[in-house]
Structure formats: C-alpha cells, structure tokens
Amino acid sequence: MVLAQEGLDTYSAPLGEQFDPSGPADGQRYGSDLVVDFLKQVQIPWLPLNPGASFRGLHDSLVNYGGNTLPEMILCQHEEIAVGMAHGYAKATGQMIACVLHDTVGLLHACMAIYYAYLDRAPVLILGATGPMNEAKRRPHIDWIHTANVQGNAIRDYTKWDDQPSSVDGIPGSLARAYRVALTEPQGPVYVCLDAQLQEDPLPHEVAMPRPGSALVPTRMAPDPAALERIAALLAGAKRPVILAEYVGRDHAAVPELVRLAETLAIPVIDGRARHNFPTNHPLCMTFTDIVEQADLLLALDVRDLDRPTQKLDSTTRQTASRLRPDCTIAEIGFADLELSSWSMDYGRFQETHESVLADTSLAIPMLADLVQARVANSPVLRGQVEARRGEVAARHAAARKRWQEEAREDWDASPMTTPRLALEVWDAIKDEDWVLTSGGLKDWVHKLWDIDQPYRHPGRDLGTGTQIGISLGVALAHKGTGRLVVDFQPDGDLMFDAGALWVATKHEIPLLVVMFNNRAYYNDWEHQIRMARRRKTPLERANIGMDMRGPEVDFAGLARSQGWYAEGPIENPADLPAALQRAIQQVKAGKPALLDTVTRFR
C-alpha cells in the first residue's frame, strides 16, 4: 500500500481493501481507544514514535479513532530521537508530551535517552508495548522474543515509576498515575507498558476515564517558614554571600523572583545552567568566575549535585579540592534528597549543610525575597553594606565580560574559525531577532558572550553525545508557530548518532537553524587522550587515533540536503559566514529547516 505524503487525506488501498477514515461502522471500541481518550483528555499535543507492531492497535486508534490530532504523531527514525524530542519539549515548556516505544527492542534502543531525561528532570510519558502476556495469544517466535517478564525492569532504575496494566480496566488509572508522577516535582520520565492483546481486543464493557478537572497533579511543596527565616538571617549577616542556582528556571516565573532576591541584597549569582536561571548580562551574574571561592555563605537553590560546582578537578589525576573556604556556610533549598537513586550515583559526594530546606524553589524564593526585603528596609547599616557590595560585584561582572570579549577575538582571522568567533558571528546575526538557543553552548562561549535575558531563550545546558539533535528538535517543536528563531549549535559527533533526525524536521515542518559545531572529531575524548599522553609520555601525535572524524570528512550539508533541508558548507573561512547566516535565517523564517556546516578549530 502507498500512504499519502501528508496526513490522512488520500490513501491507495491494495485490491480488495477499503479505507474508511470514520472508523468501524458498528461503533466498536477497542482497548487502545482508551489510551487515545486519556491523551486527548490531558491535551497531549504531540506523540513522537518509531513504528512497531507491538502497538499496532494503538497506532490504528491514534489514526482512525483519534484522527491523528491531539496528539499528532511525529515519525522518528530512532527511538532516541522520539524520547529526545519529548525531553526537549519538556525543557522548553515545562509541559509534557508522550512518546511511544516498540516493545523490548525499541525500549532498549531508547535507554540512554531515557536516562538523560531522568538526570535532567524532564517529565516524559513513555508509552511502551509488549507481546500478549497470555501465551495462547502470542504469534510464534516474534511475540515471544518481544515479550519480557515485567518489561519496565529494563529502565526501572532511571524512571520515576513504571507500570504494566493487566486489564483494560487498569489502563486509565495507570495512565493517570503516570501523568501525575511525571509532573510532580521533582519531575522525570515514567513508563507505561501496554499489552498488545489488551490494545487489540474489543472492549468488553465501557471503562471510565478519570473525571475531567480532577486533580491529576498535586500542589507544590512549601518550605518551612522558620527555616526560611533562618536563611534570611544568614543572608543578611553574610559579608560575601553567593547564590548557586541550577533548576530554578524550570518554572519561568521563578527567574524574576530570583533576580529580585539577588538584587535586594546585591548577591552574586552563579547559574548552573540545567535551566536558564539568571540573565547573563545582569550585573550580579558571576557565572564562570571564581567568586564562589571568596564566599562566606553559599545558598544553593534547586541544585541536584552540590559536589560538582564546589570542587576543583584535575582531569588528568582525578584529584579534587574544594573551591569553598573552610569557614563557608552552606544553605540549600530544593529537592536533592528526593532524587537519590540506589543505582545511579548522579548525586555526587555528600556535602554538609548548615540549613537544608526540602521545598519547591518556585514558592520558597519569593517568600525568601520578601523576608530579606523587610530586613533591608529596617536596617540603614545593611542598606549601606548592600550598596557597597552591589558596586563591587557589578565591576567584577563588567571586567569578566570585557575579558571574555577580548579572548574571543584572539586568532580572529584563523581558518578554520575559532569557537568563540563562531559564537560572536551567530550572535551578531540573531541578536535583533526573537531567538531561542536549544541546548549547546559552544563550550560555554555562548553564555559568556550572549545576552541571555529571558527564561525561554535557553532551556538548559547540553547533555551527553547522542542526545542534542533530538532535544533540539523538541525545543524547536515547542516554539513552532511562535515566529521565534530557534538555533542549535550542533556537534558533529552528536549528529552522526542520529542523522535521521534531520528528516523529522523536514517531514513535520519544524523550522530550525542548525549551525554545525564541527571540529571533525570527538574532541572531548581527544583531550582526555592528550592528558594521558602527557602523563605517560606517549606520543601526542597519536592521541587522535580512534577520535578524529576525517578520511572521509562528513559532508553535513549534503547530508542535510538529502533530507530536504536548505544547507551550505563546509564553511572554513569565517569571512564567508555572515552572508551564509543571513541566507539560512531567511529560509528558517520561511518555515524551512536550514543547516550551515561550519568547521571550527580545536579550541
């Protein structure tokens, strides 16, 4: 059979088969229709998937019972892309979409993407499937190898919850609980596995859905007022307080409240960048500086791993040393203790704290800001200290920004171009647009050089190789139709994991500007081999073996064009980049994805 290129408008049926887009004439409903009913009830807009026979019943219900609207399926070439898109959408919006994975093999393909969604607190509803648990209903061989004893075991260590309902009556409750658990803070991925036979069998009776308007997600966790008073006193009494924020920006409304808190006491802020937490051009922004090393009080806000930002690391010897003064007091507000896993050690080394408040920073930060405002208003001495600190921190902020601008212009005319020049050239091209950066920060140069002033501008830092293109597509999907220019600095090694993701943007008309961060290598690992070579006194010139992506060099522009993109490159002369950027931006504004293959130096 031949399906139409777009939607359900036309269909060429094989001889003897008739297509009725209205569904069964007798009004018969099936188990998989319940899943569609739930997704519509909670208004899930998109459903990335890679097709699989284990959910053929659900697929038919999505198309013919649900009309492929709310949710609309997005065809992906790999399960990692499907999960990554749901991950990126959640980062960008704070809302959830679902994805579908084909039984055991599709689930195993997606494991890495699910793990990163878990690490990044991304709420993703993962719908899976299994061959019939009733052995009499299984097809020989294929349904047996596609059936596991409790399929969720494969990902149970890095999901918040999983379930496999054993009857159609259990499907609505299972989905409702999954929805609730995923969106309850701290958020994360959940997995519901649907028996193929339950999907395909006619419903034996009507099954009730959760009541519309029922409280599917609980209220936020409020802080202990007495503990907040103690933290307010610590902040007011500190001479050199510093704020460290990591996931505060998951709620965009919390960002201006963090700015208010910082401004009230002139406290410098370090952005951990798991989400965008603080404007990069604000005079109190001190990210990428050594200011934490002078702190007498560190207030950690929604920080998952307090060890990482407070330690100095020698990557060659693996030796660490604290960046904090011995007399530094640590206070924290967040969910870190709720996220501990007995499997993944993503929580880091234990850190002693003076005050630890289990609460949602979206509620705690405004309350804390009110408390410190009252203290400042009632103390002329404190007001004087605050103003003196404000001037000092602003001067250090300005000096750091000036230094980064100067460093970025070193080797300006080098060909291939330097990474900071690439960051500045793209900034010059998009700064007057309503822009969004997907995830990659070009080795932190974007955050040093760009004015990231609003929470929606950047949903959070990049993650592991093999995740960025899927996440970037999800971010672009979230902004589709808004008129915003979405930009992805795309590493070459990452795109080679899931090059088929480019096809998804064309097929589903997702405008996106991809600027390749192409150093023709897995250079992070190359750097590690250089460290080993220097330590062991082995030849530095052999550090590239098994690392470089040369011989042949990948034609990323040709790869993109083959999948329907506008593309140019490779661009090695930086003088050619500004005009290419303008051409590509016009293509994206017209609704088409565009890729520029920009080649960069190892810097």
pLDDT in tens, 472-521: 999 999 999 999 999 999 999 999 999 999 999 999 999 999 999 988 77
Using DSSP's 3-state secondary structure scheme, residue 260 falls into: helix
- Any long-range contacts for 4-9 (C-beta under 8 Å, 24+ apart)? 7/68, 8/63, 8/67, 8/68
**% of the chain residues with pLDDT over 90:** 77
pLDDT of residue 364: 98
Mean pLDDT of all residues in 295-301:
98
CB 175 within 8 A of CB 38: yes
Give the residue with greater pLDDT, 459 vs 315.
Answer: 459
Residue at 537: amino acid letter: K
Distance CA 158, CA 150 (A): 15
Provide the pLDDT for residue 23.
55
Average model confidence (pLDDT) across the chain? 92
Confidence of residue 560 (pLDDT cuts 50, 70, 90): very high
The structure tokens listed for 158 are: 């890095």
Q: CB neighbours (10 Å) of residue 589?
A: 14
How large is the angle between the packed helices 419-430 and 380-408, nearest 10 degrees?
110
- The CA-atom distances, in angstroms, between 25 and each of 17, 28, 154, 252, 520 are 15, 8, 40, 47, 57
pLDDT band of residue 13 (cuts 50, 70, 90) is: very low
Q: For residue 153, how many C-alpha atoms fall within 13 Å in the half-sphere facing its CB?
A: 5
Beta strands in 504-573 (DSSP E): 513-517, 566-571
Q: What is the pLDDT of residues 330-384, one digit of tens each?
A: 999 999 888 888 788 877 888 889 999 999 999 999 999 999 999 999 999 999 9
Is 1 within 8 Å of 28 (Cβ atoms)? no
Specify the pLDDT at position 186: 95
Q: Where are the beta strands (DSSP E) in 236-328?
A: 241-245, 269-271, 297-301, 311-314, 319-322
* Residue at token pair 């970037």: 472
- Neighbouring C-beta atoms of residue 482, cutoff 10 Å: 12
pLDDT of 431: 97
pLDDT at position 554 over 90: yes
Residues 6 or more apart whose CB falls under 8 angstroms from that of 16 comprise: none
Q: For residue 23, which amino acid is it?
A: G
What is the Cα–Cα distance from 258 to 280, expressed in whole angstroms?
13
- Compute the distance between CA of residue 417 and CA of residue 577 in angstroms, rounded to an integer: 10
Q: Structural domains in the chain?
A: 2-200 (3.40.50.970), 225-399 (3.40.50.1220), 409-598 (3.40.50.970)
Report the candidate in 478, 476, 498, 503 with the shortest Cα–Cα distance to residue 588.
Answer: 476
CA distances from 276 to 76, 356, 368, 421, 480 (A): 28, 23, 20, 23, 20
> For residue 540, what pLDDT band results from cuts at 50, 70 and 90?
confident
Whether pLDDT at 17 is above 70: no
> Which helix (H) or strand (E) is 427 found in, with range?
helix 419-430
CA distance 492 to 498: 11
Question: What pLDDT does residue 167 have?
Answer: 96
Alpha-carbon distance of 117 to 85, in angstroms, equals 10
Q: Judging by beta carbons within 10 Å of its beta carbon (0-12, 13-18, 19+), is residue 252 exposed, middle or buried?
A: middle
8-state DSSP, 358 = E
- Count the Cβ atoms, other than its own, within 10 Å of residue 335: 19
Contact 243, 255 (CB under 8 A): no
pLDDT interval class at 2 (50, 70, 90): very low
pLDDT, mean of residues 198-227: 92
Q: At which residue do the structure tokens 């003196």 appear?
A: 388
Dihedral sign, CA of 451, 455, 457, 460? positive
Q: What is the pLDDT of residue 603?
A: 52
User: What is the DSSP code string of 467-521?
Assistant: SHHHHHHHHHHHTTTTT-EEEEEEEHHHHHHSTTHHHHHHHTT---EEEEEB-SB
Tell the residue number behind the tokens 């083959």, with chain if given: 562
- Cα separations (Å) of 531 from 293, 296, 540? 26, 34, 9
pLDDT tens, residue by residue, 39-65 = 999 999 999 999 999 999 999 999 999
Q: Which of 287, 494, 312 is nearest to 400 (CA)?
A: 287
**Residue 16 scores a pLDDT above 50:** no
> Which residue from 68, 74, 77 is spatially nearest to 8, judged by alpha carbons?
68
Q: What DSSP character marks residue 342?
A: S
Cis peptide before 283 (omega within 30 of 0): no
Q: Which of 419, 555, 579 is nearest to 492 (CA)?
A: 555
What are the Cα distances from residue 283, in Å, to 248, 369, 397, 444, 464? 19, 18, 6, 18, 31
Residue 602 banded pLDDT, cuts 50, 70, 90: low
pTM to 2 decimals? 0.93
Higher per-residue confidence, 214 vs 299: 299
How many C-beta atoms lie closer than 10 Å to residue 303's C-beta? 27
User: Cβ(275)–Cβ(248) under 8 Å?
Assistant: yes
Kindly tell me if the per-residue pLDDT of 11 is higher than 70. no
The residue with greater pLDDT, 376 or 308, is 376
Looking at residue 1, what is its pLDDT? 27
Which position has the higher pLDDT, 276 or 17? 276
Contact 268, 296 (CB under 8 A): no
The better pLDDT of the pair 167, 441 is held by 167
pLDDT at 215: 66
Work out the end-to-end distance of the chain between its first and last CA atoms, rounded to an integer number of angstroms: 52
| Residues paired with residue 28 on neighbouring β-strands, in sequence order | none
Place 5 in a pLDDT band, splitting at 50, 70 and 90.
Answer: very low
pLDDT digits (tens, 9 = 90+) for 97-109: 999 999 999 999 9
CA dist 426 and 513 (Å) reads 11
pLDDT in tens, 134-144: 888 888 888 88
